[in-house]
Chain A
């Protein structure tokens, strides 16, 4: 399979495409699994979404139908580079990426656009640039790389600055609260979190001398890494360093939200893969 001209750029583009497909598949699967939970416990389809209010049954049904379509789209995106014959691979993949952008816009209209949606839309859009500009005689690497570079830099710089400006985060307490919450909700039966540590072990950790200082250090490190990734995405660091730093950082956040943060994780890594091909400062 070959998307574009071959070499490291094609590998990065293909990997970024798979990141987008995985993000979309995971995201839509979560929506469909949530639909089962809602139907089971709330037959009237009225649940409260903090920050977004009460759900409307008609909108929920529309969102679930769109999720089923999105899952099919994700499978098509993953299979296209493998099963579509060479002359048509790039155009087919381009069409699927365009469909993904349209899907994300529609999903954002049905549901409040949140971080994951915006990050996936950024990635899908830069893939459209990467694959589509050659059709009109423009090399896609530089514009797509620059757009991804600016998008990723804005993401990580804003996220890092917000964390630095949050005393609750910088004290390690956001991490502690989230880990404790995960342990508690896992005990309550939520599939979103790991069942370890148990709430009782978590209580011991919070009362002990080293856990909170460790989380404080982790929080400071996370904020500084995000700023570094933001500057690195602009081209101030080698691409291999940027991606090498991003992967373990995002994996570490999976410990806090193992299920729900996966789409954002893979989409942001995919965005970085395109960014480091042609960052805006190079």
Chain B
């Protein structure tokens, strides 16, 4: 059964106007909001490891209580993840990302996370050093 088909030109003009508004809004709003589509325009990744009997072991996410899909990590989020009564092993590492690059070190006895900014331009050598170290 054929049905009524809408007026294409009115749909086009109205649609394009709505599109322009929604694109401008999407680009300017918080990238985490729906329809803001900020995926991969930035990143923050943690390369954390523990040293056990002179062996450098990369830490999986569950060791510091981050969910299995928690692949975005900056120092603020890492600090929040460490606010748990359960033990977290001592670890070192680097966080590399769009908003900055840091060396991190966690001491479980004092429950203190030390964070030190990596100088601009030194992040790739810092990262490759960690990548070469792990077993």
Contact = CB atoms under 8 A, between A and B. Distances in A.
B37 A37 contact: no
A199 B131 contact: yes
A196 B57 CA distance: 17
Give the secondary structure class of A's interface. helix
A183 B43 contact: no
A18 interface: no
Number of chain A interface residues as a range: 35 or more
Given A50-B72, A165-B41, A134 B65 contact: no
B84 to A, nearest CB: 7
A189 B40 CA distance: 23
A62 interface: no
Contacts of B36: 158, 162
B34 interface: yes
A230 B19 CA distance: 11
B12 A137 contact: no
Nearest to B70: A50
B6 A47 contact: no
A118 B19 CA distance: 16
Interface string B11-31: 110011011001100110001
Given A153-B19, A206-B124, A178 B43 contact: yes
Contacts of A37: 62, 68
Contacts of A234: 16, 19
The 3 A-B pairs of least Cβ separation, nearest first, read A158-B26, A188-B58, A48-B81
Contacts of A115: 37, 39
A114 B57 CA distance: 32
A50 B69 CA distance: 9
Nearest to A50: B77
Interface stretch (A65-73, A89-97, A139-147): A139-147
